[in-house]
Amino acid sequence: MFTAICLTRLLFDFALKYRNWKTLKMRRALSKPNFQFLSKWKAAFALSGFLIVASLILFIFKGEQIFGVDFTGGTRISYLYEQQVPVAELEKLLKPVDANVRISYKSSPSAHDNRKLEILIRDRKGITESNAFSLNDRVTTLLNEKFPQLKAHDGQETTVGGLVGAEAGRTSVIALLVALLGMSIYIAIRFELSFALAALVGLVHVGIVSLGIFILMGREISLPIVAAVLTVVGYSLNDTIVVFDRIREELKLMPGKSVWEVMNLSINRTLSRTVLTSGSTLLVVVVMFCFGGIVINDFVLVIMIGVVIGTYSTIFISSPLAAMWHRKIGTPKI
């Protein structure tokens, strides 16, 4: 924010003083768009309803498996490896250590740390305090003796207690709820209650659908993923505020038009900005996803999904709901 406000202003002052600029031209991503976005609200609501229901069913069906050891407690051991071995064979080998062991391979195109084997052990019944510290060595020995082609090495072990995991889950839920409440209050003060409710629904939609797609890809929810969801929600809110602010201005300038016409016009007029900002953000996160390494892979993936879902939510979910709940306009007639 400091850079955007102060440094950008300083650079423009310098350019105006020494370059003698008369005009400032900006290339538009789209030339005079005139899409009827709000006329597609029924299809958008149907699609979003399906995605939300499917995500909730997925959460229920997978149960505790969607959470990492940050929330459930247990031990995560990560190895670098040379050659993959079928997951079923690895799970069979490690059954004596934990009957519910979970194993997954992760990869990234980055030049380092690009192939990782993760072993999650949640059942702590067979692990006492005396042998917990040697779990890494025990698993490494089992893997390399049975599957020498795997060449598991550089094992990193993370152990989280059950009480710590439960506390982390409770704190994460509180953080999400407080963030949503604070954002809703801000929009209600700046605009009106109908806009705040519409934005709140849009933010919840972004969070649920983004996590649903993330879980569908075989990933797990951890503390960094909660941070990523909060980041995505904040980004989506920023996009929503830009559109809502333009709607507010246009409503004052065109009092004779219906709110649906004004909203559709406002979305089209901010579309170039949305495409440029979302596109530039996506470009950065795609580069981070491909070359940032496995450590931040899941975090960046959630942001990448959330940027797309957030843009869709602002245009096709929050804006139609704001028009429906606007104090002067009822159901659309488009």
Which CATH number belongs to the domain containing residue 215 in this structure?
1.20.1640.10
Residues 272 and 171 in one domain: yes
Q: Does 28 score more than 70 pLDDT? A: no
Residues 321 and 175 in one domain: yes
Which structural domain, as residue segments, surrounds residue 232? 32-65+165-325
Of 102, 134, 160, which residue sits at a domain end? 160
User: At 193, is the secondary structure helix, strand, or coil?
Assistant: helix
Instruction: Give 195 or 165, the one with higher predicted confidence.
Output: 195
Residues 284 and 201 in one domain: yes
Q: Of 37-46, 202-211, 270-279, 281-290, where does the model show the most confidence? A: 202-211
What is the average pLDDT across 278-300?
A: 86
Q: Does 24 score more than 70 pLDDT? A: no
Of 109, 135, 160, which residue sits at a domain end? 160
Per DSSP, 322 falls in state H
User: At 74, is the secondary structure helix, strand, or coil?
Assistant: strand
Of 160, 177, 207, which residue sits at a domain end? 160
What is the C-alpha separation between 228 and 302, in angstroms, rounded?
6
Residues 183 and 107 in one domain: no
| pLDDT at site 104 | 78
Task: Spell out the SS3 assignment of 95-160.
Answer: CCCCCCCEEEEEECCCCCCCEEEEEEECCCCCCCHHHHCCHHHHHHHHHHHHCCCCCCEEEEEEEE
Q: Of 14-28, 35-49, 109-123, 127-141, where does the model show the most confidence? A: 35-49
> Do 84 and 103 form a contact (C-beta atoms < 8 A)?
no
The reported pTM is 0.80
**Could you tell me if residue 119 is inside a domain?**
yes
Q: Does 164 score more than 80 pLDDT? A: no
What tokens does 93 get?
């080998």
Give the CATH number of the domain where residue 101 resides. 3.30.70
How many C-beta atoms lie closer than 10 Å to residue 44's C-beta?
18
Q: Worst-scoring range by mean pLDDT, 42-46, 98-102, 164-168? A: 164-168
| Residue 329 CB burial class (10 angstroms; 0-12, 13-18, ≥19) | middle
Give the end-to-end CA distance of the chain in Å, rounded to a whole number. 40
User: At 67, is the secondary structure helix, strand, or coil?
Assistant: strand
For residue 127, give every residue at least 6 positions away whose Cβ sits within 8 Å of its Cβ, in sequence order, or none.
75, 97, 98, 121, 135
Residues 227 and 92 in one domain: no
pLDDT digits (tens, 9 = 90+) for 128-140: 444 545 677 788 8
pLDDT digits (tens, 9 = 90+) for 294-320: 778 889 999 999 999 999 999 999 888
SS percent in the chain: helix, strand, coil, step 5: 65, 10, 25
Q: What are 265's strand-pairing partners?
A: none
The residue among 49, 53, 63 whose CA lies nearest residue 212 is: 53
What is the C-alpha separation between 212 and 88, in angstroms, rounded?
25
**Could you tell me if residue 7 is inside a domain?**
no
| pLDDT at site 334 | 40
- Structural domains in the chain (count): 2
Pairing of strands 74-80, 153-160: antiparallel
Roughly what angle, to the nearest 10 degrees, separates helices 223-253 and 162-190?
10
Q: Does 328 score more than 60 pLDDT? A: no
Q: Does 54 score more than 90 pLDDT? A: yes
